[in-house]
Structure 1
């Protein structure tokens, strides 16, 4: 038995909609066994998938097939993520956390006077 890759990605909850999964496969964000594929490519157990979703990159091995989207616990049984992929994602998560801590968000929005100061400052830079 085999399932279309876009259906499988949607059922495994890598993408929120099947249309988005199709778009990402077409855009080259998903590779099967090291090769770029089309959304209609059939996935079978044992295939190696490389998935890029925003800042996250996953390397997973297909362990189960599903055409319909189920619960998250069922979706986790459809694949097994490699150890290197898990470590790389944890490193990225830590880097994002440190980056956010180094540039905290302002407490409030700038008022009219502050906005004018910002505009003057930016125009002086150019």
Structure 2
């Protein structure tokens, strides 16, 4: 045996299985792997079974349910991936099955364009949102 180094089995699209926190980071749902691990510790469902282990292995075909920001995301794994690449590459790793965001939530923020000072009306709207905890 000369220099036997064990390699992970991989197909043309990458490894067959991958850690849950690493995949969430590679698929660009979280900015860092530590944030992905924290989200897993708070609870992620893999094929409708709750897990809190960041080292849980997942494979293509698994369905994940987790919260990212204020949204509940439901995604089906299509591939494991090999690296954290650009957004189009990351979006090819999964199929998004999440319900669409209601227009009421999407349009709840004021439409201040950032050019110059906000008007008095814009400031009142921002204050109301902060008071309600929506910002």
The two structures have a TM-score, normalised by structure 2, of 0.66
Structure 1: unaligned runs, 5 residues or longer: 108-126
Residue 99 of structure 1: aligned partner:
108
1:27 matched residue in structure 2 = 42
RMSD: 1.9
| Count of aligned pairs | 99
Q: 2-side partners of 1:98 and 1:77: how far apart?
A: 28
Matches within 5 A, 1:1-126: 1-28=16-43, 30-37=44-51, 38-82=53-97, 85-87=98-100, 89=101, 91=102, 94-101=103-110, 105-106=122-123
| Residues 7, 67 of structure 1: 8 Å contact kept | no
Q: Residue 3 of structure 1 contacts residue 67 of structure 1 at CA under 8 Å; is this kept in 2? A: no
Alignment deviations for residues 22-64 of structure 1 (CA, whole Å, 9 cap, x no partner): 0110011x21111122100001000000021121111110001
**How far apart, CA to CA, are the structure 2 residues paired with 1:31 and 1:105?**
40
Secondary structure of 2:122's aligned partner: coil
Runs of 5+ unmatched residues, structure 2: 1-15, 111-120, 125-135
Superposed structure 1 runs of 4+ greater than 3 Å apart:
none
Give secondary structure in 1 for the equivalent of 2:104.
Answer: helix
| Structure (1 or 2) with the larger CA radius of gyration | 1
Measured in 1, the distance between the counterparts of 2:99 and 2:87 equals 18
> Counterpart of 1:66 in 2: which secondary structure?
coil
